[in-house]
């Protein structure tokens, strides 16, 4: 009987420890994402927005990434953060227990305002819209590659740059009209420059 009680106590301690470690991982993860976060669940506006962006990512030539990230979205691994400061998104792995991709709410819902807050570029809004959207898609792709188990920034930035460089061959780009292509040409060039800069100064 005593043996059973001892076993029972050991089991309780084990469960409590697992719960504590899990809670620590969750807190750590959320704190690293600025604290104020929520899960992207089906039916909310932010979910629809990401879903639309992922469909666009597929037409931009990254079908495989798009479908894998859509799976993560459905599994509840993509979250919204209200306070990522200057980042559009980030991947955070806490103790290998909690792994999430966070997207900045402002970058997602009000992408141009997100950039205007950072720097005032004297250029027509359409160029900024193209840049903001493209770099958000690039960021989601970048953070997904980290999520898939690759920490090497050089490698991940190169995949992001490859995505921008191949964009002109995509269905998305080919369906743009002349003016929209002008906006995207600028956006592609600027996205590549800023990824190279980010890779150098990280
Ligand atoms: Zn990275």
Measure the CA–CA gap between 196 and 186, rounded to whole angstroms.
15
pTM over 0.85: yes
Q: Report how far ligand 1's centroid is from the alpha carbon of 40 (Å).
A: 21
Cβ 125 vs Cβ 112: under 8 Å: yes
Ligand 1 centre from 199 Cα, in Å? 8
Alpha-carbon gap, residue 178 to 57, rounded angstroms? 20
- How far is ligand 1, taken at its centre, from the CA of residue 10, in Å? 41
Per residue in 74-90, pLDDT tens?
999 999 999 888 899 99
pLDDT band at 201 (very low <50, low <70, confident <90, very high): confident
Q: Average of pLDDT values for 168-181? A: 96
Task: Determine what percent of the chain is predicted with pLDDT higher than 90.
Answer: 73
Q: Which domain holds residue 157?
A: 2-201
Q: For residue 30, how far is its CA from the centre of ligand 1 (angstroms)?
A: 18
Residue 160 Cα to ligand 1 midpoint, Å, equals 10
Cα–ligand 1 centroid distance for 76 (angstroms): 21
Give the pLDDT score at 117: 62
Residue 114 predicted with pLDDT over 90:
no
Check residue 67 and give its pLDDT. Answer: 97
For residue 123, pLDDT over 90 is answered with no
Give the distance (Å) from ligand 1 centre to CA of residue 159: 11
Query: Taking 90 as the threshold, does the pLDDT of residue 2 lie above it?
Result: no
* pLDDT of amino acid 113: 78
Tell me, in angstroms, the distance from the centre of ligand 1 to residue 95's CA: 18
Distance 139 CA to ligand 1 centre (A): 8
Instruction: Mark the residues whose beta carbon lies below 5 A from ion ligand 1.
Output: 153, 156
3-state DSSP assignment of residue 102: strand
State the distance from the centre of ligand 1 to the C-alpha of 42, rounded, in angstroms: 27
Rounded distance from Cα 143 to ligand 1 centre (Å): 6
Residue 183 region, left (φ>0) first, then alpha (ψ -120 to 50), else beta?
A: alpha
Domain count, the chain: 1
Cβ partners under 8 Å of residue 46, min gap 6: 40, 80, 103, 105, 108, 109
pLDDT digits (tens, 9 = 90+) for 18-62: 999 999 999 998 989 888 999 999 999 999 999 999 999 999 999
Residue found by looking up tokens 């840049």 in the block:
131
How much is the mean pLDDT over the chain?
92
Give mean pLDDT, residues 122-136. Answer: 90
**pLDDT higher than 90, residue 125:** no
The two beta strands, 78-81 and 98-104, are parallel
Predicted confidence at residue 83, as pLDDT, reads 87
User: Per-residue confidence at 119, pLDDT binned at 50, 70, 90?
Assistant: low
Structure tokens at 35: 């604290």
């Amino acid at each position: 009987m005593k043996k059973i009680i001892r076993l029972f106590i050991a089991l309780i301690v084990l469960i409590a420890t697992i719960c504590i470690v899990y809670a620590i991982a969750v807190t750590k993860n959320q704190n690293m994402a600025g604290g104020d976060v929520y899960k992207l669940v089906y039916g909310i506006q932010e979910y629809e927005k990401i879903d639309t962006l992922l469909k666009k990512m597929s037409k931009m030539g990254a079908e495989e990434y798009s479908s894998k990230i859509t799976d993560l979205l459905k599994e509840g691994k993509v979250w919204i953060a209200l306070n990522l400061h200057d980042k559009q998104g980030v991947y955070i792995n806490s103790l290998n227990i909690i792994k999430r991709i966070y997207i900045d709410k402002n970058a997602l819902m009000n992408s141009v305002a997100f950039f205007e807050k950072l720097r005032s570029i004297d250029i027509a809004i359409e160029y900024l819209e193209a840049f903001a959207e493209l770099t958000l898609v690039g960021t989601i792709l970048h953070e997904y590659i980290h999520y898939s188990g690759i920490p090497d920034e050089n490698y991940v930035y190169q995949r992001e740059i490859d995505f921008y460089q191949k964009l002109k061959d995509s269905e998305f780009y080919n369906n743009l009209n002349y003016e929209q292509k002008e906006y995207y040409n600028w956006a592609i060039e600027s996205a590549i420059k800023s990824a190279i800069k980010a890779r150098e100064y990280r």
